[in-house]
Structure 1
């Protein structure tokens, strides 16, 4: 496995894969959890999450003064 560095580029599909790889598909994640899974900065993960929210059905909500969670809605 290669080390991630500043030259590493993360695509929206990388962030989507983090959500899709979970056992509980409906469990929301924080930007920090996504960043930890990808091995990137929280800011990079947050930027990608905002991009996904505007381009896909990824959804978020504020859960505290400065906290936000993200999830892909499960349509039944």
Structure 2
């Protein structure tokens, strides 16, 4: 009998790939959009996003109520 629980482990790299594999690299995403693209729960996506914000350039901003968007800043040389 197989063990109950999660079958797929999602990594921070998986989340970063969602940002970098899109046509509009700079467009902010919600945790729900990340979760939908990965096929994981919103909570899993949110946990990974918080981890990434502590370790990388991934940043976020509240956009009302409990809503937050996440993105990787695009650095432009002047």
Give the structure-2-normalised TM-score. 0.90
Task: Give structure 1 stretches of 5+ with no counterpart.
Answer: none
Task: Give structure 2 stretches of 5+ with no counterpart.
Answer: none
1:47-66 matches, cutoff 5 A: 47-66=47-66
2:69 counterpart residue number: 69
2:13 counterpart residue number: 13
> How many aligned residue pairs are there?
72
Which one has the largest radius of gyration? 2
CA RMSD of aligned residues (A): 0.9
C-alpha displacement of 1:41:
0.1
d(CA) in 1 for partners of 2:39, 2:6:
11
Give the structure-1-normalised TM-score. 0.92
